[in-house]
Structure 1
Amino acid sequence: MLSDALQNPHCKLEILWLKYCGITDEGCAALASALRSNPSHLRDLDLTGNELGDLGVKLLCAVLEDPHCKLEILWLCYCGVTDEGCAALASALRSNPHT
């Protein structure tokens, strides 16, 4: 339901904190899909304490690479991100001057 709301073009949400919500790769895929369809308003995303792993991080990277993405703060503490996920994040952030 949250993904549906985020996809709505009238959604102007700027801060989304989903700490320790049990979000896995599947939930991250739905979140990333919603953010790709409406990326321009979200500025602060906190996914601390969710089991995203590298697959979830790679899905988020697609959002971060979008030139319409204006995300300024991304929290991924205790999410199981490895060196590979960090490298993907760094690449995505370098490719988008707005993030």
Structure 2
Amino acid sequence: MNNNNLQDLGVKLLCTGLKDINCKLEILRLHGCGLTEESCSALATVLRSNSSLKELDLSNNNLQDSGVKKLQKGLENTNCTLEKLRLSDCSITEEGYKALGENSDSEL
């Protein structure tokens, strides 16, 4: 789904399906989709509830530190099996990366 104009509303709608226990999606690429911290809240909910997602690419979006902190809430859940998280060019500072450091199993 890279480089689409999904924006936050599109991701929220997508997350509704991703939370379904029958969803087997393992890789989700949302590179350059106009996402903000609002999308991170919806994705964190998916990470807490969906054990099939293994790779998430959110590169080239305006997530900022506040968005990464929301994502961290999903990553720290024991149901989360995410192995790769890509966040290049997301306006994240040291503060955001420190928050992610709390979950050292994710590949940045």
TM range (shorter): 0.7 to 0.9
For 1:84, the equivalent position in structure 2 comes to 95
Shift of 1:77: 0.2
Matched, 1:30 2:42: yes
After TM superposition, the runs of 4+ consecutive aligned structure 1 residues lying more than 4 A away are none
Q: Is the 8 A contact 1:6 1:35 kept in 2?
A: no
Q: Aligned partners of 1:71, 1:34: CA distance in 2, in Å?
A: 11
Q: Aligned partners of 2:78, 2:48: CA distance in 1, in Å?
A: 10
For 1:2, the equivalent position in structure 2 comes to 14
Where structure 2 has 5 or more consecutive residues not aligned to the other structure, the ranges are 1-12
Aligned length: 94
What SS is found at the alignment partner of 1:48?
A: coil
For 2:57, the equivalent position in structure 1 comes to 46
Give identity over the alignment, percent. Answer: 49
**Which TM-score applies when normalising by structure 1?**
0.87
* RMSD, matched Cα: 1.3
Q: Aligned partners of 1:30, 1:3: CA distance in 2, in Å?
A: 6
Shift of 1:15: 0.1
**Which TM-score applies when normalising by structure 2?**
0.81
Q: Aligned partners of 1:51, 1:43: CA distance in 2, in Å?
A: 22
